[in-house]
A and B are shown apart, each in its own frame.
Chain A
Amino acid sequence: MSPLRSPASDRIELLKGTLDLLVLRTLVFGPMHGHGIAKAIQSQSDDLLLVEHGSLYPALHRLVRQKWLAAEWQDTPKGRPMKFYRLTPAGRRQLAAEESNWQQLTRAIGLVLKRSELKSRS
């Protein structure tokens, strides 16, 4: 679960589980298409998170299969139909669960880091 620093850029790559969480979170405010989700994650993290589009689509499909997201093709104002994803009620419940997990995890890691820092200092 540790974020990696890619030597080629300052962006941090994410592993599978966290990407699911981010996608679910992004869709809380309403349905979006795949491209939009990628852009949203990038922009909301101040461009720190690199979401390779290649990993986004498998993740989206996995979430659809788990029935946390539902997808359907819709027409956009630009005239080009795009596939929109939205949260299902089950997805919302999953989001809440994962958010709380994440917070507990980061708190736990933070505590360990602080203690080991203290230890290494002392």
Chain B
Amino acid sequence: MARRWLAILRELFTQEQREADVARELRSHLDEETAERIADGTPPEEARFAARRALGNPTAIRERTRDAWTWGRAALGLRDLVAGVRQDVRYALRASRKQPSFTAAAVLALALGIGATTTIYSVIQGVLLDPYPMYRDIGRLIQIAIHDQASARPGGRGYLQLDEFLEYQRQATLLEEVIGGTSDDVLWTTAQGTEQFVGGLTTANTFTFLGVGAIVGRTLTPADGQPGAPPVFVMSYKLWASRFGLDPSFVGRTFTFNEVPTTLVGVMPERVSKLAADVWMPVRLDRADRRLRDHYFRFQARLRPAVTLEQASAELDAIGHRIAASRPRDYPEHFVVYAESFIDSIVGPFRKTLYTMAAAVAMLLLIACTNVANMLLSRAAGREQEMAVRAALGASRTRLVRQLLVESLLLALAGTAIGCLFSKLGITAIVALIPDGLIPREARIQLNMPVLLFSLGVAAVTTLIFGLVPALQTARRQLTPGLRDGGKGTGGGFRRARLSSGLVVAQIALALVLLSSAGLLMRTFIKMQSTSLGLDPERVLFVRVPNGTSLETVDAQQQFLAQALTRIRALPGVEAASSTTGFPPFGGYPADFDVVGASQGRQRRAIVEQISDGYFTTLTMRLRRGRDFTPDDVGGRRRVAIVNERLVELHMKGGDPIGRGLSLTLPGPDGPSRPEVFEVVGVIADVKNQGITVPIEPEIFLPASLAPARYSQGLLVKTAGAPLAMVRSVKNAIWVVNRGVAISDTASIADSLRRIQFAEPQLGLFVFGAFAAIGLLLTILGVSSLIAYTVARQTREIGIRLAIGASRADVFRLTFGLGLRWLVLGVAIGLAGSVVATRMLAQQLWEVSPTDPLTLALVVTILALTGLTASYVPARRATRVDPLVVLRSE
């Protein structure tokens, strides 16, 4: 079957060759016949005549020979179509070579528009449509979320403690299979020393559940999780490449992980990065296993076929409430449990942003298309004569339209080719700007086959958009006037070119919408950057000390911290150091409290953070009243507290807060202990504690020694120079105190802040800014060239007007007035459009209204100024028309 089609295609394309061959054959036949007759004695003229008669009608012969190569009427039509299109293509290529600047401009405009569209689509393709091609059936993967109804933030706890996990697994009937996992620090000890990896403890069925196998060796199977199974692990591709040089001989070797000899059985493919782990080990969820007591496991499952998300949510909610009855302290007072689609939970927030970017790029594409359409319309008017001649020679309207469409298609294809190059750059930029955590780790944004096919589709659609109307218009015009008047015609005056004007106005309006979007995002970004945090994040190093195996009691932890801080403070280049259970400017856990002596019954909530002495100095926070913690406060585990101004404002109005008592219940090792009273000894100025964009919550600081042992601590080090340069010395100082402490995250607070808070607005600003800039550029060029073209077309009319007494100022007014009219109309429509469109951006804006008048005014001014300048130049040139030259050249 395929061979037949191949043969058909081959025959279609060799048709011309064949026809030439037949013609040649017939000629040689004639020559032969003529020669024979001459040899017989006939005079040459007559011989030739007779030979031709004997042959018959050569055209008929040729046709019949051609028919011998066809497959029926449909194929005949197809063959003619193909031949016609090939002709059109050749003609179009010739024409475009004769007008290189026009072709270049059109192709460039299309390349910008199509390139931008392809870039955004590649993000959509890689992130939304198919982020996990290597996993099986990921669409039905759900995870659990325990949502506190008192909290305004969406989402909820997705991690469960061990027995919780097992309960949910046991009671859920609508789930086909369940997997779980948690992170753990893995210490690999060799004779040379200790190295640390990020470990993923996963249920043994995880990889078979996901349907992904190993690229070397084998993956984990449920058998590895059975009691008594030998300890095994699989490695991530990233670790295998970076640390083990892609050497397959490592598979089968035994590694000592956390003092347990574990065998490497396989290496997972590159894109697998579950739990962001370097190595994965099977974990058996055994209630009796003490090691797992403090871990929280992610609960993920696949829905049974034909089970909906709602049904699963309802069942999980029922189970959740049953469980909460037996362990109330782990559940909020009012909560709901629901199942959320895994993909939604990861890409959900980004999805909206991506849609706004898609809308913006669609507008940009439209600007590019209308730009090129105007170019084609302008050029078409100059081709009236050519079209008229072709029509007179027998070309049907369909034929003419087809030829023009083929020209447009060629432009679009050239634009697509160059656009793909542009989008390669765009993709590189976007991938660099996308912050971690916004999109799945496993997602790949690249120019792959679906994206390329999409861009070809865009090429076809844009051809219709920008090519069809000019083609129809060109073929519609009365063809005889074109022939008669030498092709120029009166053109219908300045105002007749309604279609072109409409297109330019549309461009201006769209450009305004893009500009206002970019402007709003820029204002948001600037606002975020200039917001005072209340603390200084610069030059602060954060080192997380996880509660490892050697710091199990509170006392051990506190002793370690005190000693470590002393050593670190003594290092050269360190200005201050302290510890915290939070992560500035985030952190702390919510707790209810009461004010001694104030009215009871009111709900009082605050963020609680345990800090060491010197915390406020390390972060340069201002103490308003009272004092900081002393080392004695911390060492003696005194019941003292420091609050922020917000808490005082909300809950302790009137009188001096210093000395008053707060009643708090601290979580103990096995559950909350009794409420205790803490004395307020200081008040600090408000500092962002929920990130930059969320209002400041009331906060209570407690001495570090009151933190439960299972909370991991973070060390904050204020450095004189670059914070990350001090990592080595800080680590060494810590290890001097306790060799076995494993240090995981190290980060510069300022960098983390930039990454978490600013990276996403930065991305949005970059994308919208780029689109707005390109859109503005195309629009301005469009305005300018349309005026220039109109002037060129109306040169005769201008000459006449000047000749009959119009002044140059009048001519200027006429042409400049064109541009002005378009701008006014475009800005008006654009403003209306902005008001509607920027509403979609609301999610990405902060403290800036979508209809912010300052931004709109600024944007309108920019557009007006550039637009007027663009109109000015060609309008001035119009005034230089010499009426004598024009009239004489008739």
Q: How far is the CB of A31 from chain B (nearest CB, A)?
A: 14
Q: How far is the CB of B99 from chain A (nearest CB, A)?
A: 41
Interface centre among B22, B24, B32, B54 (most CB of A within 10 A): B32
- A52 to B54 Cα, complex, angstroms: 7
Q: How far is the CB of A35 from chain B (nearest CB, A)?
A: 4
B229 contacts chain A at the CB level, 8 A cutoff: no
Q: Given the known A-B contacts A81-B28, A83-B28, are A65 and B69 also in contact in the complex, defined by CB atoms under 8 Å?
A: yes
Q: Taking CB as reference atom, which chain A residue is nearest B60?
A: A54
- A122 to B60 Cα, complex, angstroms: 50
Within 8 A of B (CB), among A65-89: 65, 78, 80-83
Chain A residues with CB under 8 A of B61: 53-54, 57-58
Is there contact, CB below 8 Å, between B28 and A80?
Answer: yes
Q: Taking CB as reference atom, which chain B residue is nearest A81?
A: B28
Chain A residues with CB under 8 A of B24: 83
- A59 to B21 Cα, complex, angstroms: 15
A93 contacts chain B at the CB level, 8 A cutoff: no
Is there contact, CB below 8 Å, between B26 and A57?
Answer: yes
B64 contacts chain A at the CB level, 8 A cutoff: yes
Within 8 A of A (CB), among B56-85: 56-57, 60-61, 64-65, 67-69
- A54 to B68 Cα, complex, angstroms: 13
Is there contact, CB below 8 Å, between A83 and B60?
Answer: no
Within 8 A of B (CB), among A25-60: 33-35, 52-55, 57-59
Q: Given the known A-B contacts A35-B33, A82-B28, are A53 and B65 also in contact in the complex, defined by CB atoms under 8 Å?
A: no
Q: Given the known A-B contacts A58-B67, A61-B65, are A52 and B29 also in contact in the complex, defined by CB atoms under 8 Å?
A: no
Chain A residues with CB under 8 A of B55: 53-54
Q: Taking CB as reference atom, which chain B residue is nearest A83?
A: B25
Chain A residues with CB under 8 A of B65: 57-58, 61
Is there contact, CB below 8 Å, between B28 and A61?
Answer: no
Q: Taking CB as reference atom, which chain A residue is nearest B28?
A: A82
Interface centre among B25, B31, B64 (most CB of A within 10 A): B25
Is there contact, CB below 8 Å, between A62 and B68?
Answer: yes
Is there contact, CB below 8 Å, between A54 and B56?
Answer: yes
How many chain A residues touch B (CB < 8 A): the figure is 18
- B23-65 CB mask vs A (1 if < 8 Å, else 0) is 0111011011101000000000000000000111100110011
Chain B residues with CB under 8 A of A81: 28
- A36 to B55 Cα, complex, angstroms: 13
Chain B residues with CB under 8 A of A52: 56
Is there contact, CB below 8 Å, between A53 and B56?
Answer: yes
- A82 to B31 Cα, complex, angstroms: 10
Chain B residues with CB under 8 A of A33: 28-29, 32
Task: Tell me the dominant secondary structure on chain B's binding face.
Answer: helix
Is there contact, CB below 8 Å, between B29 and A54?
Answer: no
Is there contact, CB below 8 Å, between B28 and A58?
Answer: no
Q: How far is the CB of B173 from chain A (nearest CB, A)?
A: 67
Chain B residues with CB under 8 A of A54: 55-57, 60-61, 64
- A57 to B25 Cα, complex, angstroms: 9
- A59 to B31 Cα, complex, angstroms: 21
Within 8 A of B (CB), among A84-121: none
- A95 to B241 Cα, complex, angstroms: 69
Q: Given the known A-B contacts A54-B56, A54-B61, are A61 and B22 also in contact in the complex, defined by CB atoms under 8 Å?
A: yes
Q: Taking CB as reference atom, which chain B residue is nearest A63?
A: B68
Q: How far is the CB of B14 from chain A (nearest CB, A)?
A: 12
Is there contact, CB below 8 Å, between A65 and B57?
Answer: no
How many chain B residues touch A (CB < 8 A): the figure is 22
Q: Taking CB as reference atom, which chain A residue is nearest B54?
A: A53
Chain A residues with CB under 8 A of B28: 33, 35, 80-83
- A54 to B59 Cα, complex, angstroms: 10
Q: How far is the CB of B882 from chain A (nearest CB, A)?
A: 64
Q: How far is the CB of A106 from chain B (nearest CB, A)?
A: 27
Chain A residues with CB under 8 A of B32: 33, 35, 80, 82
Q: How far is the CB of A83 from chain B (nearest CB, A)?
A: 5
Q: How far is the CB of A121 from chain B (nearest CB, A)?
A: 43
- A81 to B33 Cα, complex, angstroms: 14
Identify which of A35, A65, A78 contacts B29 (C-beta below 8 A): A35
- B1-37 CB mask vs A (1 if < 8 Å, else 0) is 0000000000000000000011011101101110100
Q: Given the known A-B contacts A53-B54, A54-B56, A54-B61, are A34 and B29 also in contact in the complex, defined by CB atoms under 8 Å?
A: yes
Q: How far is the CB of B756 from chain A (nearest CB, A)?
A: 71
Q: How far is the CB of A75 from chain B (nearest CB, A)?
A: 11
- A34 to B33 Cα, complex, angstroms: 11
Identify which of A53, A65, A82, A83 contacts B68 (C-beta below 8 A): A65
Q: Given the known A-B contacts A34-B25, A35-B32, are A58 and B57 also in contact in the complex, defined by CB atoms under 8 Å?
A: no
Chain B residues with CB under 8 A of A78: 35
Q: Taking CB as reference atom, which chain A residue is nearest B35?
A: A78
- A75 to B19 Cα, complex, angstroms: 20
- B308-347 CB mask vs A (1 if < 8 Å, else 0) is 0000000000000000000000000000000000000000
Is there contact, CB below 8 Å, between A53 and B67?
Answer: no
Q: How far is the CB of A14 from chain B (nearest CB, A)?
A: 15
Interface centre among A35, A81, A82, A83 (most CB of B within 10 A): A35
- A52 to B64 Cα, complex, angstroms: 13
Chain A residues with CB under 8 A of B57: 54
Chain B residues with CB under 8 A of A58: 61, 64-65, 67-68
Identify which of A57, A62, A65, A80 contacts B31 (C-beta below 8 A): A80
Q: How far is the CB of B36 from chain A (nearest CB, A)?
A: 8
Q: How far is the CB of B64 from chain A (nearest CB, A)?
A: 4
Q: How far is the CB of A101 from chain B (nearest CB, A)?
A: 22
Q: How far is the CB of A49 from chain B (nearest CB, A)?
A: 14
- A110 to B724 Cα, complex, angstroms: 108
Chain A residues with CB under 8 A of B31: 80
- A35 to B36 Cα, complex, angstroms: 11
Q: How far is the CB of A9 from chain B (nearest CB, A)?
A: 13
Q: How far is the CB of A64 from chain B (nearest CB, A)?
A: 9
- A82 to B64 Cα, complex, angstroms: 21
Q: Taking CB as reference atom, which chain A residue is nearest B30?
A: A35
- A58 to B26 Cα, complex, angstroms: 11
Q: Taking CB as reference atom, which chain B residue is nearest A58?
A: B64
- A102 to B22 Cα, complex, angstroms: 30
- A47 to B109 Cα, complex, angstroms: 72
Interface centre among A33, A59, A61 (most CB of B within 10 A): A61
Q: Taking CB as reference atom, which chain A residue is nearest B58?
A: A54
- A54 to B57 Cα, complex, angstroms: 7
Instruction: Show 19 A/B contacts (Cβ-Cβ < 8 Å), sorted by A.
Output: A33-B28, A33-B29, A33-B32, A34-B25, A35-B29, A35-B32, A52-B56, A53-B61, A54-B55, A54-B60, A57-B26, A58-B65, A62-B68, A65-B68, A80-B31, A82-B25, A83-B21, A83-B24, A83-B28
Given known contacts A34-B29, A53-B29, what 9 new A-B pairs fall within 8 Å (CB)?
A33-B29, A35-B28, A57-B25, A58-B68, A65-B68, A82-B25, A83-B21, A83-B24, A83-B25
Interface residues of B (CB under 8 A from A): 21-22, 24-26, 28-29, 31-33, 35, 54-57, 60-61, 64-65, 67-69
Can you list the 3 inter-chain pairs with the closest CB atoms, starting with the nearest?
A: A54-B56, A58-B64, A62-B68
